[in-house]
Amino acid sequence: MALAPDLRQQAGVCARLAEDCEDQRLAERLKAIARNLFAEADEHPTPISAMAQRDEEETMDRSNEQAAENTPREVKQYRLAGMKDIRELNMKLVDMAQANSQAIFNFARQIAAADALSDVVKVCTEHARKQFETTAEQMRELTAVGQKIAADSTAPIGDDAERASKDDG
């Protein structure tokens, strides 16, 4: 997933190129790319920062320590499973941030190596296409992890309801 600051940076590059471009059609195309990138940046919030992830893990650890003293063994197991799911989500986010950072550096390298303005436009267009595809794939991955977290976190509720109905019956 492209980070909003990365998309804004790419949009800024395209906008500056448009200002310096002598070809009116090419300048308009670059401006359109810049507008699209700014719009994409506004649609995608930046993932959790590493500090927020660490704070979240520390909170989960404290919560688990408190739970160890006061809750039945089953609830502890659900909490541990939930913590593993959260860690999986955090690792996915870190991996995605790393991939997106690498993509922006590759993009910058290609822009710097471009010989002509038409090459720059080609690189910008190709990068935007790849990032949209990457974003879609990353959203699918995050959705799958989110669904797993939701299913695992609601399992205790279903189990309790099932036990309660058996006790009543």
- The answer to whether residue 37 sits within a structural domain is yes
Whole-prediction pTM value? 0.48
What are the distances in angstroms from CA 2 to CA 37, 55, 99, 103?
A: 10, 24, 9, 9
User: Do the Cβ atoms of 83 and 64 come closer than 8 Å?
Assistant: yes
As for how many domains the chain has, the answer is 1
Please indicate, yes or no, if residue 19 is contained in any of the structural domains. yes
pLDDT reported for residue 1: 47
13 in a structural domain = yes
Confidence at residue 50, expressed as pLDDT on a 0 to 100 scale: 46
Task: Read off the pLDDT of residues 113-123 as tens digits, 9 standing for 90 and up.
Answer: 999 999 999 99
DSSP assigned state of 71: S
Asked if residue 36 lies in contact with residue 8, where contact means CB atoms within 8 angstroms, the answer is no
- For residue 140, is it within any domain? yes
Domain residues for the domain of 135 are: 4-47+91-168
Q: What are phi and psi of 73, to 5 degrees?
A: -60, -40
Q: For residue 83, what are its two tokens?
A: 């913590």
The dihedral through the CA atoms of 86, 88, 94, 99 has a sign that is negative
Domain-embedded: residue 100: yes
Give the model confidence (pLDDT) of 5-31 as tens digits. Answer: 677 777 787 788 778 878 888 888 888
In this prediction, residue 123 carries a pLDDT of 93
- 67: in domain: no
Kindly give the confidence (pLDDT) of every residue in the chain, 169 residues in length, as a single tens digit, with 9 standing for 90 and above. 456 667 777 778 778 877 887 888 888 888 888 888 777 777 765 554 444 555 666 666 666 665 555 556 555 565 666 677 788 888 888 888 888 889 999 999 999 999 999 999 999 999 999 999 999 999 999 899 888 888 877 766 666 556 656 666 5
> Domain for residue 143, yes or no?
yes
Q: Which two tokens stand for residue 2?
A: 């492209």
The answer to whether 64 touches 37, Cβ cutoff 8 Å, is no
Q: Answer yes or no: is 56 within a domain.
A: no
